[in-house]
Structure 1
Amino acid sequence: MPTESLYPPIEIPDVDIWAFLFERNDKPYPDDKAIYIDPFTSRTYTFADVKSTAIDFGKGLKALWDWQKGDVLALFTPNCIDTPAITWGCHWAGGILSPANPGYTAEELAFQLKDSGAKALVTQLALIATAKKAASIAGIPHDRIIVMGDERDKEARVKHFSSIRNTSGTSRYRRTKLDPAEDLAFLVYSSGTTGHPKGVMLTHRNIVANVLQGMSGEANLLKWDNGPDKSGDRIIAFLPFFHIYGLTCLIHHSLRAGLALYVLPKFSLDAFCDIIQTYRVTFAYVVPPVVLLLAKHPDVSKYDLSSIRMLNSGAAPLTKDLVETLHSRLNLKVKQGYGLSETSPTTHMQPWSDWDKTIGSVGRLLPNLTAKYVSEAGEELPAGQTGELWVKGPNIFKGYLNNPERTADSLTPDGYFKTGDVGYQDENGNFYITDRVKELIKYKGFQVPPAELEGLLVGHPLVDDVAVIGIYDEGRATEVPRAYVVASKATEPVGEKHSNEIAEWLATKVAGHKRLRGGVRFVEEIPKSVSGKILRRVLKARAEEETSGKTVKAKL
Structure 2
Amino acid sequence: MSHPNSSSPVGFQSANLFEWLFSNPFENESDFTTAQQRVPRGSNEEKLLIDEATDNSLSSSQLHKDALILAAGLQAIHGLNPNEVVALPPTPTCKKPEIAPLVLIQVPNCLPFATAFLGTIAAGLTATLVSPALTSHELAWVLQNARPKVIITATACLGAMKEAISKQDDKAAFENIPVYTVDVGGDKYPAAPTTTSQNDWRQLLASPTGHKLIKPTTFDPKSRTALILWSSGTSGKSKGVMLSHHALCFSLASLWHNADFYLGRPQRWLGYVPFYHIFGLLNVLLLAIPTRSTVYSMSAFKLDAMLAAIPKRQITYLHMAPPIAIMLAKSPLVEPYARRKDFASVAAAVTGGAPLGHAVVLQVYDRCGFRIRLGYGLTEAGSVTVQSGISAEEMRSQSDDTGGPHWGVEVKIVAEDSSVASSKAAKAGDAGEVLIRSPGLMLGYLPTGGYATQTAPDMSLSADALTPDGWFRTGDVGIINPAGSLRLIDRIKELIKVRAYQVAPAELEAILCSSPAVVDAGVVGIYDEDQATEWPRAYVVAAGDKTEKELTALAFQLRDVVEKQTAKYKWLKGGLVFVKAIPKSPSGKILRRIIKQSGVEGFEVSVYKPNPRAAKL
User: 1:159 aligns to what SS in structure 2?
Assistant: coil
1:422 alignment counterpart: 477
Any conservation in 1 of the 2:261–2:348 contact (CA below 8 Å)? no
Q: Which amino acid aligns with 1:329?
A: R
Pick the aligned partner of 2:186 from 146, 151, 155.
151
Instruction: Supply the distance in 1 between the matched residues of 2:591 and 2:496 (Cα, whole angstroms).
Output: 15
1:375 alignment counterpart: 415
Pick the aligned partner of 2:303 from 266, 269, 272.
269
Greater alpha carbon shift after TM alignment, 52-61 vs 119-128? 119-128
Residues 374-414 of structure 1: CA distance to partner in whole angstroms, max 9, x if unpaired? 00343421332100011111001111111411111111111
Residue 90 in 1 paired to residue 131 in 2? no
1:536 alignment counterpart: 592
User: 1:213 aligns to what SS in structure 2?
Assistant: helix
> What residue ranges of structure 1 are gaps of 5+ in the alignment?
227-231, 547-556
Deviation at 1:7, TM superposition (A): 4.1
User: 1:542 aligns to what SS in structure 2?
Assistant: coil
Residue 202 in 1 paired to residue 243 in 2? yes
Q: Which amino acid aligns with 1:542?
A: S
Residue 331 in 1 paired to residue 366 in 2? no
Deviation at 1:222, TM superposition (A): 2.7
1:3 alignment counterpart: 3
Instruction: Supply the distance in 1 between the matched residues of 2:186 and 2:581 (Cα, whole angstroms).
Output: 51
Residue 349 in 1 paired to residue 386 in 2? yes
Instruction: Supply the distance in 2 between the matched residues of 1:270 and 1:406 (Cα, whole angstroms).
Output: 42
Instruction: Supply the distance in 1 between the matched residues of 2:129 and 2:376 (Cα, whole angstroms).
Output: 21
Any conservation in 2 of the 1:92–1:176 contact (CA below 8 Å)? no
User: 1:460 aligns to what SS in structure 2?
Assistant: coil
Instruction: Supply the distance in 2 between the matched residues of 1:145 and 1:329 (Cα, whole angstroms).
Output: 47
Deviation at 1:545, TM superposition (A): 9.1
Deviation at 1:154, TM superposition (A): 9.5
Any conservation in 2 of the 1:57–1:161 contact (CA below 8 Å)? no
Residues 78-110 of structure 1: CA distance to partner in whole angstroms, max 9, x if unpaired? 111221221111111111110001100012112
Report the count of equivalent residues: 538
1:60 alignment counterpart: 73
Pick the aligned partner of 2:313 from 270, 279, 286.
279
2:62 alignment counterpart: 49
Deviation at 1:330, TM superposition (A): 2.0
1:463 alignment counterpart: 518
**Aligned residue runs from structure 1 range 112-511, under 5 A:** 112-138=142-168, 139=171, 140-141=174-175, 144-148=178-182, 149=184, 151=186, 158-176=198-216, 178-217=219-258, 219-222=259-262, 226=265, 232-303=266-337, 304-343=342-381, 345-353=382-390, 354-378=394-418, 379-403=424-448, 404-489=459-544, 491-493=546-548, 494-511=550-567
Any conservation in 1 of the 2:129–2:228 contact (CA below 8 Å)? yes
Instruction: Supply the distance in 2 between the matched residues of 1:360 and 1:261 (Cα, whole angstroms).
Output: 31
Q: Which amino acid aligns with 1:5?
A: N
Q: Which amino acid aligns with 1:384?
A: G
Instruction: Supply the distance in 1 between the matched residues of 2:561 and 2:142 (Cα, whole angstroms).
Output: 23
Q: Which amino acid aligns with 1:52?
A: K
User: 2:354 aligns to what SS in structure 1?
Assistant: coil
Instruction: Supply the distance in 2 between the matched residues of 1:99 and 1:543 (Cα, whole angstroms).
Output: 40
Any conservation in 2 of the 1:462–1:491 contact (CA below 8 Å)? no
Any conservation in 1 of the 2:155–2:181 contact (CA below 8 Å)? yes
Any conservation in 1 of the 2:75–2:214 contact (CA below 8 Å)? no
Q: Give the TM-score, by structure 2 length.
A: 0.83
Greater alpha carbon shift after TM alignment, 373-382 vs 445-454? 373-382
Q: Which amino acid aligns with 2:354?
A: A
User: 2:397 aligns to what SS in structure 1?
Assistant: coil
Greater alpha carbon shift after TM alignment, 114-123 vs 323-332? 323-332
Q: Which amino acid aligns with 2:344?
A: S
Instruction: Supply the distance in 2 between the matched residues of 1:339 and 1:127 (Cα, whole angstroms).
Output: 29
Any conservation in 1 of the 2:478–2:486 contact (CA below 8 Å)? yes
Q: Which amino acid aligns with 1:369?
A: V
Instruction: Supply the distance in 2 between the matched residues of 1:510 and 1:80 (Cα, whole angstroms).
Output: 24
Deviation at 1:142, TM superposition (A): 5.7
Deviation at 1:150, TM superposition (A): 5.3
Instruction: Supply the distance in 1 between the matched residues of 2:537 and 2:255 (Cα, whole angstroms).
Output: 35
Instruction: Supply the distance in 1 between the matched residues of 2:361 and 2:515 (Cα, whole angstroms).
Output: 42
Rate the CA distance shift 1:496–1:326 in 2: closer, same or farther, 3 A: farther
**Aligned residue runs from structure 1 range 19-34, under 5 A:** 19-24=19-24, 26=27, 28-34=41-47
> What residue ranges of structure 2 are gaps of 5+ in the alignment?
28-39, 83-99, 188-192, 419-423, 449-458, 603-617
Residue 527 in 1 paired to residue 540 in 2? no
Residues 44-81 of structure 1: CA distance to partner in whole angstroms, max 9, x if unpaired? 11100110010000000000000122011111111112
Greater RCO (Cα-Cα under 8 Å, separation 6 or more): 2
User: 2:61 aligns to what SS in structure 1?
Assistant: helix
Greater alpha carbon shift after TM alignment, 181-190 vs 242-251? 242-251
Instruction: Supply the distance in 1 between the matched residues of 2:312 and 2:282 (Cα, whole angstroms).
Output: 26
Any conservation in 1 of the 2:102–2:126 contact (CA below 8 Å)? yes
Residues 94-153 of structure 1: CA distance to partner in whole angstroms, max 9, x if unpaired? 111100011000121121122011111101222221222223334534661112345369
**Aligned residue runs from structure 1 range 66-77, under 5 A:** 66-69=79-82, 70-77=100-107
Deviation at 1:175, TM superposition (A): 3.8
Instruction: Supply the distance in 1 between the matched residues of 2:196 and 2:56 (Cα, whole angstroms).
Output: 23
**Identity, % of aligned pairs?**
30
User: 2:335 aligns to what SS in structure 1?
Assistant: helix
Q: Which amino acid aligns with 1:526?
A: I
Any conservation in 2 of the 1:238–1:264 contact (CA below 8 Å)? yes
Any conservation in 2 of the 1:145–1:158 contact (CA below 8 Å)? no
